[in-house]
Amino acid sequence: MAEIRSIGVVGGGQMGSGIAQLAAVNGFEIWLHDADSTALSNAHESISSRIQSIVSKGHLTKEKGAEALRNLRCTSNLEDFRSVDIVIEAIVESEEVKKKLFVRLDNIVKGSAILASNTSSISITRLASATSRPDQVIGMHFMNPPPVMKLVEIIRGASTSDDTFNATKFLAERLGKKIICSQDFSGFIVNRILMPMINEAFHALYTGVATKEDIDAGMKFGTNHPMGPLELADHIGLDVCLSIMKVLHAGLGDSKYAPCPLLAQYVDAGRLGRKKGIGVYQYSKM
């Protein structure tokens, strides 16, 4: 099993930048890619700010903070990934878009490199089928935000090799994560359980069972969840929740996974959650 030293992360959004920060702080060489130069600049600024905050709170030495920032390199050119040991994609939750990316990466990275997807619901087997190295494709689903949440969900595709699985598991352990392993079924473990709960909370709101505040309060104070399902949906992104529900519905073929019409309506209206300033709740603009 080859040691992973250098990591490429595709996607400068909240998940991608979080994964890049986590890996940089833990001593890995990081290439962070985004085709949007503004998004890439914002990601670098956000990572730098978060690392400086960790240092100021005494959770990381100044030396380690400076080393982490030196470990991080940003690029808008995927060709810079030629020497990385693993690529973790954290882009839009679309099978078609992810497959196109994997085709490009397959032709760029070295033959021994692992291609990992941070997908929260899409079949790893189908993503792997777009490449010439299906045995080196795996799911590595980080929770949001990656530097804080302790879990990584690892998903083996039909052809994922033991070497690929072991290298990915070892990487997650070096990042300080608790690992769970799922078979390659729609939604895997976490979202197979979580998203129907969120969807049902939308149904409760849609049918007038209760106000959004009471629905969230019920789950926070009645079941000890850190935040209510509607608040959590805003945090995740309503578009992401809708996409996952569609994958669950298509992949599992059960009507109970059909997305709530209210969730779809909010997404159609551009009410995507915190990232847009409005979702189920209204948020003050940063």
Looking at the chain, the number of H-run helices and the number of E-run strands are 11, 8
In whole angstroms, what is the distance from residue 85 CA to residue 18 CA? 19
In whole angstroms, what is the distance from residue 122 CA to residue 141 CA? 11
In whole angstroms, what is the distance from residue 232 CA to residue 274 CA? 10
Q: What share of the chain is helix, strand, coil (3-state, %, to 5)?
A: 50, 15, 35
In whole angstroms, what is the distance from residue 268 CA to residue 165 CA? 38
Catalytic residues: 120, 141, 153, 191
User: Distance between terminal CA atoms of the chain?
Assistant: 45
In whole angstroms, what is the distance from residue 3 CA to residue 168 CA? 10
By three-state DSSP, how is residue 183 classified?
Answer: coil
User: By the 8 A CB rule, do 101 and 10 touch?
Assistant: yes
